[in-house]
Structure 1
Amino acid sequence: MMLTKFGHSCVRLEKDGRSLVIDPGNFSDVEAALDGCDAILVTHEHADHIDPDRVLPWLDAAEAAELHAPDSVVRQLRSHGAVGGAGHRIRAVEPESSLSVAGFDIRTFGGQHALIHPRVRIVDNVGYLIDGNVYHPGDSFVVPHGAEVRTLLVPLHAPWSKTAEVIDFVVSVRAGRAFPIHDALLNERGISVAEKHVGFFGAAYGTDYQRWGSGETREV
């Protein structure tokens, strides 16, 4: 399976001629990520994870493509003016469930976004484990139970986290390898500092943390 980053938290997985995109948000290269893809997974409603103004016209024109997201996101997208006739291809997913999308086997975890502040509303968030291999947690540090993650996508920086929590998440999941996501708010200096700590402690617990940039592809 091939894994490509398209900025911030947006990734594309490809195998056997099929492709799946996760979190095409407004900090990402949405058009490149969605080019020819078969399905979209959305972890939660925040704009850096789903850009309706760009995603919904594409979905309407794609004819057979599907979008899967938490129910709260589905309701918002179906009521959006750009949805066109694609509303029936926008489908709700629940945490702690299993489904097959575009030839990929998916397990879902979590249920809610990490706390930003007590006065900021907590929204639904679903993490996705793809083919028992790649885990995208969205905006959460939920450790998938009953699963051995081989490739972890690590939210490197966010208004809701601190580096110590990022380290603890990587250590808890114990994946063989890890790649950064959710890093668009950091400059190169900030990325270097965060990655130094995450890479050091991850290695101590058996996780090979690797940097990758937007547009780069890894075989996983």
Structure 2
Amino acid sequence: MLMTKYTHACVRLEKNGAVLVIDPGVFSETDVALAGADAILITHEHADHIDQDAVLAALAANPGLPLHAPAVVADALRAAAPDAAGQVYDAAAGDTFTAAGFTIRCFGGQHALIHPSIPVVANVGYLVDDAVYHPGDSLIVPAGVQVGTLLAPVHAPWSKVAEVVDFVVSVRAAKAFQIHDGLLNETGLAFTESHIARVGAEHGTQFRHLAAGESVEL
């Protein structure tokens, strides 16, 4: 499986000629990430995880393109584009389904708490082919599975470094790469990632930074 990391939280997975895109948000290179997509997964409703205009354009351009998302996101997309309603599917914690030949298992259910005054929204983490885990905006450890590759949200208004490090240690994936890094400059990112890499290595996780647009074979 080939994985390409885009700015912030978007990744593109390719296997046997099929393309799966997760969280093409407004901070990401959505035109490149979505080109030739065979399926789309959305973890939650925030714009840094879904560029609605880009996603609706992709659905309109390819009537065979399925999209899976939490019900509130799916409902909004179906309302915005009734002609594409049949392409949009609800996803919830506990679900398992196939998209573009990839097996998807869903975990979590809600976004991490930002502040008590800010309502908590739905968030679904996706485990792809029992190998690659994208948690969206949460630090939910998927129970009962051994994750091969973890996509770790390294910085957010709802997290601190200690929590991210504990998440990486708890998942104990062999490999980890950063996501949700669009709000940090190079200095802050290097500082945060150094802690994740050091402690992760002590617990068997090899952490590696991927530049936007960089690909890695998993």
- TM-score bracket, normalised by the shorter chain, equals over 0.9
Structure 1 residue 84: Cα displacement:
5.6
Q: For residue 105 of structure 1, what is the aligned residue in structure 2?
A: 103
Q: For residue 199 of structure 1, what is the aligned residue in structure 2?
A: 197
Instruction: Report the residue type matching 2:121 in the other structure.
Output: V
Structure 1 residue 63: Cα displacement:
1.7
1:185 is paired with a residue of what secondary structure? Answer: coil
Q: For residue 146 of structure 1, what is the aligned residue in structure 2?
A: 144
Q: Write out per-residue CA displacement over residues 57-94 of structure 1, whole angstroms, 9 at most, x where no aligned residue.
A: 121111211110011111111122xx262111011011
Q: For residue 183 of structure 2, what is the aligned residue in structure 1?
A: 185
In 2: Cα distance, 1:54 partner to 1:89 partner: 15
1:91 is paired with a residue of what secondary structure? Answer: strand
2:90 is paired with a residue of what secondary structure? Answer: strand
Q: Write out per-residue CA displacement over residues 24-44 of structure 1, whole angstroms, 9 at most, x where no aligned residue.
A: 000000000000010000000
Instruction: Report the residue type matching 1:211 in the other structure.
Output: H
In 1: Cα distance, 2:6 partner to 2:181 partner: 12
Q: Write out per-residue CA displacement over residues 80-132 of structure 1, whole angstroms, 9 at most, x where no aligned residue.
A: 2xx26211101101111211111001110000000000010100000000001
Q: For residue 76 of structure 1, what is the aligned residue in structure 2?
A: 76
Q: For residue 166 of structure 1, what is the aligned residue in structure 2?
A: 164
1:25 is paired with a residue of what secondary structure? Answer: coil
In 2: Cα distance, 1:97 partner to 1:88 partner: 19
Q: For residue 55 of structure 2, what is the aligned residue in structure 1?
A: 55
Instruction: Report the residue type matching 1:48 in the other structure.
Output: D
Q: TM-score, normalised by structure 2?
A: 0.99
1:21 is paired with a residue of what secondary structure? Answer: strand
Q: For residue 32 of structure 2, what is the aligned residue in structure 1?
A: 32
Moved beyond 2 Å, runs of 4+? none
How high is the sequence identity, in percent, across the aligned residues?
56
Q: TM-score, normalised by structure 1?
A: 0.98
Q: For residue 116 of structure 2, what is the aligned residue in structure 1?
A: 118
Q: How does 1:3-14 map to 2 (within 5 A)?
A: 3-14=3-14
In 2: Cα distance, 1:25 partner to 1:203 partner: 30
In 2: Cα distance, 1:92 partner to 1:32 partner: 25
In 2: Cα distance, 1:147 partner to 1:104 partner: 17
1:119 is paired with a residue of what secondary structure? Answer: coil
2:40 is paired with a residue of what secondary structure? Answer: strand
Instruction: Report the residue type matching 1:105 in the other structure.
Output: T
- Structure 1: stretches of 5+ with no match in the other structure: none
Instruction: Report the residue type matching 1:176 in the other structure.
Output: A
1:167 is paired with a residue of what secondary structure? Answer: helix
Instruction: Report the residue type matching 2:16 in the other structure.
Output: D
2:73 is paired with a residue of what secondary structure? Answer: helix
2:9 is paired with a residue of what secondary structure? Answer: coil
Structure 1 residue 7: Cα displacement:
1.1
In 2: Cα distance, 1:146 partner to 1:163 partner: 25
Is 1:219 the equivalent of 2:210? no
In 2: Cα distance, 1:100 partner to 1:55 partner: 20
In 2: Cα distance, 1:167 partner to 1:74 partner: 32
